[in-house]
Amino acid sequence: MSTTKFTRDHEWVLIEDTTATVGITDYAQEQLGDVVYVELPEVGQAFAAGDNIAVVESVKAVGEIFMPLTGTIEAINEHLEDEPELVNSDAAGAGWLFKIALSDPTSAAGLMDDAAYAEYIAGL
C-alpha cells in the first residue's frame, strides 16, 4: 500500500511500507521557476525530520529541502544531475529527489493529506 503525504515546506512524500520517495510539489516548482541545479544528500546518510538536506536552485531563487521524516537516504535521483529541469516538467514523477529508509513509518501520520495540503496552499 502506498500513501502520498505533504509537508508545510512543499515536499510530497510517497510512503510505501518502510520506504518514502520525496520530491517537491507542483506548487513549489512553480514558485521556484526554471530549476537549473539540484544538490542532493549522499546515500547512506541519516537525518532527523526537519534537517536541511538538499537544495534546489532556479533562475530566480534557491529552495531548501528539509527531511520530511527521520531515516536514512537509500537512493537519490541521479538523473537530476544532468537534467534538473525534470523537477519542473514532472515534479511528482521523474523529478523525484531521494528515497528514505524510514526509521518510524508511523511518523508520517503528522503530515498533510491531499485535501489538507490543497487548503494550506490556498491560504498562502
pLDDT value, residue 12:
98
| Secondary structure class of 11 (helix, strand, coil) | strand
d(CA 39, CA 51): 15
What are the tens digits of pLDDT across the range 64-94? 999 999 999 999 999 999 999 999 999 999 9
| pLDDT the model gives residue 37 | 97
Q: 4-36: per-residue pLDDT in tens?
A: 999 999 999 999 999 999 999 999 999 999 999
CATH T-level assignment (fold) for domain 2-122: OB fold (Dihydrolipoamide Acetyltransferase, E2P) (2.40.50)
Domain boundaries, the chain: 2-122
pLDDT at 1: 75
